[in-house]
Structure 1
Amino acid sequence: MTFPAQNGCLVLPVDRSALASASREELVDLVVMLSEQVAALTARIAEQDAKIAELSAKLAAASATSRTSSKPPSSDGYKKPPTPSPTSRRVKSGRKPGGQAGHEGAALCQVDDPDVVITHRPAICSGCQASLAGAEVASFARRQVFDLPEDVALECTEHRIVTCRCVCGVRTTAGVADGVAAGVAAPAQYGPRVRASVTWLVSEHFLPIARAAVVMGALLGAPVSAGSVNAWVAQAGDALAEDGGFLDVVAAQLRDADVLHADETGLRTAGALAWVHVACTLALVLLSVHTGKGKRGKVAIERTGVINHLREEAVLVTDAWGPYLSYASVHALCGAHVVRELRAVVDAAPGCTTEAGSQSWAGKMLHFLEALSGEARQARRDGQEQLDEAVLAARVATFEKILTLGHQQNPAPPGGWPGAKKRPKAVNLLLRIEREREAYLRFAVDLTVPFTNNQAERDLRGVRLREKVSGCLRTLKGAEVFVAIRSYLLTAQRQGRASLEVLRELFTGRVWIPELATT
């Protein structure tokens, strides 16, 4: 008896009467045929599953938002989730909106000697309509209005550079030693306050060069060219980059930091992608820009000369990018990054926050890290140097239980997991958290270490804003000047100095140098 087949596959179902009348040899042939067919279908299903996983990963990457990845909020476009998000995990603080008790406000106060006094007298009585000319003044209320002068006039200072002839016949002209300000060389030029103000507009508020020239020209009532603005900004950058100057001093101080934050971001420069690296603490900021081979990796990191010279006991706070983890320092990994990755797993796996969900470990780990971060934050507020040992041990045990659950929900195939590129994202995340468990829990073990790397990310925000405004920087030199001035202004702000003030000092030839600070 021959069982019907089509394209090499048995036509199912097989008639029961045909099976009953078949010989033993025919039944064996049937079983072999079915086994081959099952094997072929199993291989095909595995191939399709792999393709589905690949397409699902691409779809997930395309639909990633700032909430579930490291993408900036500006990349979300018009597809932002409703506000407030139905899955928002923000915990209410219990405080009312607005300024809190003890918040230092900013308000104008009246002065005793105003520049101009205008007295307003009523002309007629509001009761009988009689004239009030010459009437007795019963009282008056003071209302002071602070405004810019109607005309902002430039102040012109003439420097007369005297040349004297000695009795010996030698003619000597006054110089810097005689009080001549540095840079006073042209017959007519703008002074340090104007130059500082323009540089501040460009570097602190990201006005394009031409627009900054227009703004200053309108305010001063005098012509300011874009070429002059560009030259002044370049002058500031060159002053900061001098050997042994501001940038070198900050780099040297950062090498002695106890806790150092680092991150990087791209910047379109000279028609190509450059990378801006930041190394910073609570008191110091150093930005550097790199192009060419190795512009993002270890070559750029070591060209900056901070991370590769850190003390081994110093804590380096970063994301989980490989080049950072290759250095011998004590590592702390950004909790905000892993929380976003866990949230992506939660969103991608329906019901994963429940015990029955296939990826419930991700929801549990997400809640665990957020709760532990809150405990560490409260301990810092209470002035504690570390969490209670028993509490910390219990939290670590919970962490390990969640990892165990993750492995139970993601068992390795018989041959073991393939390379990272072929593993599911949830598995890659699970294995990384397990491998870097000490770095992810560093913030709870050492309360001087924050839960996130937001410090470095905030210091890079100006780079993203500058690119958003200008589109790119046209030259590498311009990018180097930009990051040098940003380093100067951010460091000054960290140490309580006003940006305009330190820029004025720079343009008078006295570059501000930060005090030694390693925290």
Structure 2
Amino acid sequence: MSGLEELSREELIALTRALMAENAALRERVAKLERLVSRISGNSGMPPSVDDLPGRKQPKERKADGPGRRRQGKQPGAQGKALAWSDEVADGDIVEHYPQGPCGCGADLGQAADLGVTARHQQIEIPLVVARRFEHHLHTMACRCGAVHTAPRPPGVPAAPVSLGVSLRAWCVYLLVVHAIPVHRVAELVASLTGAEPSPGFVYSLIGRAAAAVACANVRIRMLLTLAYVVCCDETPIRVEPKKAKKYLLVACDQLLTWYMLGGRDLETFKRFVLADLTGVVVHDRYQNYDATDLGERDHQLCAAHLLRDLEDCAETYPDAHWPRQLQMALRGLIHAANLARARGEGAIAAGTQAMFARMFRGGVAVGLSQVKRLPGPAKTVTQPVGRVLLEVLRDRADDVLRFAYDLRIPPTNNQAERDLRPAKTQQKISGRLRSEKATEQRYAVRGYLSTALKHGLDVMTVLRDALLGHLWMPPDPATA
């Protein structure tokens, strides 16, 4: 730097201090950027899709048989499925095959003696699907008394001279809602498979019709969730027109029920969500609105999957510390013990196992708090060291973290809610956005109804077709489910 030799001692000291301050600011900025780049699905709440972004550290490869890693294919102990032979085959579906052509001696095999069936093979197949056109004639009859009677239209036949049948309509809604296929592609797919040619506008209108058909069932689903013992909740961003506005899709669910709501991530949306009416335990990811006092008091279960990812972040930040791994070991041990107890039909984890892992958990929290000190100052202006806020949550809300270990009816994670939100993420990747808020609400009203039916072991197409015909299936009371 030219001119330094002309500076006085005081000026050199001032310059040095300025450079040191700038260097410190740059180091802090680089550290923040490195931390942002290090965020992946394994140590944060980010989705796995970010792991492939440029500059991201790739997750550690885990062996297929390692702890916490399921191997591909059939799982140990899972019920196997195979194609079984059936003796109930209609005579018209039995196809006889005979040797044809000449024999080596020159004789025609068509004249040979039949020695019987020597091999049988069954194949499950569907016939070529072709849409058929049915014409309904409504006759008018005159009684001897002079009264005139006209036959009513069959169920599912609208007043229009030409229309698509209810099965074709159910197909369209199924492809739109369950498989997130865009409107124009649904029209093309139905035309290719059946020969019917629904217009894209007609296909799009079916979402609203289906939503209206299942509206009463969704009211009942929401009511049953408010009475459920445990409810898993989650939310995910979703882009909706106009101008690709960012909204949030919220879900409340359990193993038998699914209910969606479109809104924001603000407290007003959460007040309109089921939370204000719930009476059971809420399983969630620690987002602050789940704990808002305006929503009333209730028991909570903090998602252990999110906690384990946050602890992985701590383990990477403090590689020489033992407390992050100890806390992970304690949580995983309790989750495994709870799963084993449920599988055996037991009502609780063994007392010794429960006490051992609980003691390991509380000890890890105490050690972590002693090593990661809180920085003084207001929370809005002071950023605490990595893991400090998490450790305080584990200390102050230990009951909400370990509630699943003392009540096996409570799941340790909100994975059920994340599974029920996965179709929305798939749809976003396929289409990028939805046309309007109204259409989005209608889409997920149908999706919630079909998800609930599927959880009850029902055939989705049958339930959807019946709903369009006016024969709405309603989820039963919890006592009879």
TM-score (norm 2): 0.86
- In the TM superposition, residue 120 of structure 1 has moved relative to its aligned partner by 2.8
Cα distance change of structure 1 residues 259 and 45 upon mapping to structure 2, 3 Å threshold: farther
Cα distance change of structure 1 residues 418 and 182 upon mapping to structure 2, 3 Å threshold: closer
What secondary structure, in the 3-state scheme, does the structure 2 residue paired with 1:289 have?
Answer: strand
Are the equivalent residues in 2 in contact too, given 1:473–1:479 (CA < 8 A)? yes
What secondary structure, in the 3-state scheme, does the structure 2 residue paired with 1:255 have?
Answer: helix
Q: Aligned residue for 1:310?
A: 278
**Is 2:467 the counterpart of 1:506?**
yes
Q: Distance in 2 between matches of 1:341 and 1:320?
A: 12
Q: Aligned residue for 2:370?
A: 408
Q: Aligned residue for 2:195?
A: 221
Q: Aligned residue for 1:211?
A: 185
1:101-500 to structure 2, matched below 5 A, reads 103-107=79-83, 109-110=85-86, 111-115=89-93, 117-125=95-103, 132-140=109-117, 141-150=119-128, 152-160=130-138, 162=140, 173-175=150-152, 180-181=154-155, 184-241=158-215, 245-270=216-241, 271-290=244-263, 295-304=264-273, 306-311=274-279, 314-326=280-292, 327-349=296-318, 352=319, 357=320, 359-413=321-375, 415=376, 418-419=379-380, 422-500=383-461
- In the TM superposition, residue 411 of structure 1 has moved relative to its aligned partner by 2.7
**Is 2:9 the counterpart of 1:6?**
yes
Deviations 1:23-53 (A, max 9, x none): xxxxxxxxxxxxxx9xx97x99788667644
Q: Distance in 2 between matches of 1:49 and 1:166?
A: 103
One-letter amino acid of the structure 2 residue matched with residue 199 of structure 1: V
Q: Name stretches of at least 5 consecutive residues in structure 1 with no aligned partner.
A: 11-36
Percent pairwise identity: 28
Are the equivalent residues in 1 in contact too, given 2:333–2:357 (CA < 8 A)? no
RMSD: 3.2
Are the equivalent residues in 2 in contact too, given 1:284–1:517 (CA < 8 A)? no
Q: Who wins on radius of gyration, i.e. which is larger?
A: 1
Deviations 1:474-519 (A, max 9, x none): 1111101111011011000001111101110011111221111279
Q: Aligned residue for 2:4?
A: none
Are the equivalent residues in 1 in contact too, given 2:52–2:58 (CA < 8 A)? no
One-letter amino acid of the structure 1 residue matched with residue 170 of structure 2: A
Cα distance change of structure 1 residues 473 and 106 upon mapping to structure 2, 3 Å threshold: farther
One-letter amino acid of the structure 2 residue matched with residue 343 of structure 1: E
TM-score (norm 1): 0.80
Q: Distance in 2 between matches of 1:277 and 1:83?
A: 29
- In the TM superposition, residue 231 of structure 1 has moved relative to its aligned partner by 1.6
Cα distance change of structure 1 residues 336 and 100 upon mapping to structure 2, 3 Å threshold: closer
- In the TM superposition, residue 431 of structure 1 has moved relative to its aligned partner by 1.7
What secondary structure, in the 3-state scheme, does the structure 2 residue paired with 1:275 have?
Answer: strand
- In the TM superposition, residue 182 of structure 1 has moved relative to its aligned partner by 5.2
Q: Name stretches of at least 5 consecutive residues in structure 2 with no aligned partner.
A: 1-6
**Is 2:57 the counterpart of 1:77?**
no
- In the TM superposition, residue 183 of structure 1 has moved relative to its aligned partner by 5.1
One-letter amino acid of the structure 2 residue matched with residue 58 of structure 1: L
Are the equivalent residues in 2 in contact too, given 1:420–1:428 (CA < 8 A)? no
Deviations 1:310-366 (A, max 9, x none): 12xx211001101102241100010100111111222233xx2xxxx2x43212212
